[in-house]
Amino acid sequence: MDWEQLRRSTNVQDRRGGGLGGGLAIGGGGAILIALVSLLFGANPGDVLNNLTGGGSAGQYERTPENDRNADFAARILGGTEDVWTDIFQKSGRTYQPAGLVLYDGTTSTQGCGGANANVGPFYCPADKSIYIDLRFFREMETRFGAGGDFARAYVIAHEVGHHLQQELGIEQQVRQLQERSDRVGRNRLSVLLELQADCFAGVWGNRTADVVNLSQADIREAVNAAAAIGDDALTQGRASPDSFTHGTSEQRVAWFTRGLKSGSVDSCDTFSASAR
């Protein structure tokens, strides 16, 4: 994947080494973050909460060539998503407002979603329309989840941009309203549909940028492997009930990412209508 062919986004805040902190606000965005951590790392929410509120840092930041290269990578992937989605929105008569990207190490603050901690992993904060990522997560993907490779990393960022698209299109807001009127099983099911749609949107971006970055079949296998590695069933090793799933099974995540990748069409990403059939 020739990711250096992509344009660097200017919507990036580099807080690495800045030491910005902030306690995690429980409730609202904070509760969502805890749920995300638990799912992504297969952790107990209570254990995660203890780690976050304990004020511990993820370690002293050290600027390295690898970390700086990852920062350049993230900025270029974001720039690539901006170009693709700006074009798609324009063709439908809309204006795309890009997401922000905050690079940090250890801990940082958000505007409306509580505090961010390296243990949380990448996430999108709808309140400030920004994606937060500690770049050391890329190494975690490879060592803990066995999901290495540039396109696997790009998939993670494109997935979070997918959540921004849902915010811009009003999908996220509608789903949250439905969740407020649903029981736990219903809320989880709606959360899964949101996540699978973000996977599909990531696939659409991959399709539209394939020629620019000379995407190969090996690259595609990297992203598919990443999608499979973070399915609910894979993360919980079959110990959790499907009713508790919030992101989708490995099979579902691979299927929807692949659907978007093959079609290159936003219309193929209606997970909500598909679930009703």
**DSSP run (H or E) holding 265:** none
Helix axes 184-213, 250-263, angle to 10 degrees: 40
CA 140 to CA 225: how far, in whole Å? 14
Q: Which residues pair with 103 in a beta bridge?
A: 14, 133
Taking residues 232-249, report their average pLDDT. 80
Q: Is it the case that residue 153 has pLDDT exceeding 70?
A: yes
Q: Is it the case that residue 131 has pLDDT exceeding 80?
A: yes
Long-range contacts for 90-96 (Cβ within 8 Å, ≥24 apart)? Answer: 96/168
The C-alpha angle 248, 34, 186, rounded to 5 degrees, equals 45
CA 174 to CA 182: how far, in whole Å? 13
Per-residue pLDDT tens over the stretch 194-226: 999 999 999 999 999 999 999 999 999 999 999
Taking residues 7-19, report their average pLDDT. 89
Q: Which residues pair with 108 in a beta bridge?
A: 116
Q: Is it the case that residue 84 has pLDDT exceeding 50?
A: yes
What b/e string do you get for 71-101 counting C-beta neighbours within 10 Å, with b at 16 or more?
bebbbbbbbbbbbbbeebbeeeeeebebbbb
Tell me what the pLDDT averaged over the chain comes to. Answer: 84
Question: With contact defined as beta carbons under 8 Å apart, do 152 and 199 qualify?
Answer: no
Give SS3 for 223. Answer: helix
Q: Is it the case that residue 66 has pLDDT exceeding 90?
A: no
Taking residues 51-66, report their average pLDDT. 54
User: In this prediction, what percent of the chain has a pLDDT beyond 70?
Assistant: 82
pLDDT at 276: 54
Q: Which of 16-30, 116-130, 210-224, 225-239 shows the lowest mean pLDDT across its residues?
A: 16-30
pLDDT at 145: 85
**DSSP run (H or E) holding 124:** strand 123-125
pLDDT at 201: 98
Question: With contact defined as beta carbons under 8 Å apart, do 227 and 155 qualify?
Answer: yes
Q: Is it the case that residue 156 has pLDDT exceeding 70?
A: yes
| Widest distance between CA atoms in the chain | 51
pLDDT bracket for residue 232 (50, 70, 90): confident
Nearest to 203 by CA among 253, 130, 137: 253
Work out whether strand 123-125 and strand 130-134 pair parallel, antiparallel, or are unpaired.
antiparallel
CA 71 to CA 138: how far, in whole Å? 11
Q: What is the DSSP letter of 146?
A: -
Taking residues 8-17, report their average pLDDT. 95
Residue bearing the bigger pLDDT, 39 or 9: 9
What b/e string do you get for 108-139 counting C-beta neighbours within 10 Å, with b at 16 or more?
bbbeebbbbbbbbbbbbbbebbbbbbbbbbbe
Taking residues 87-115, report their average pLDDT. 95
pLDDT bracket for residue 12 (50, 70, 90): very high
Taking residues 148-154, report their average pLDDT. 96
Q: Is it the case that residue 18 has pLDDT exceeding 50?
A: yes
pLDDT at 58: 43
Listed ranges 6-10, 28-32, 185-189; the one with the highest mean pLDDT: 6-10
Q: Is it the case that residue 89 has pLDDT exceeding 80?
A: yes
pLDDT at 246: 81
Whole-number Cα distances in Å, 91 to 161, 206, 255: 19, 18, 26
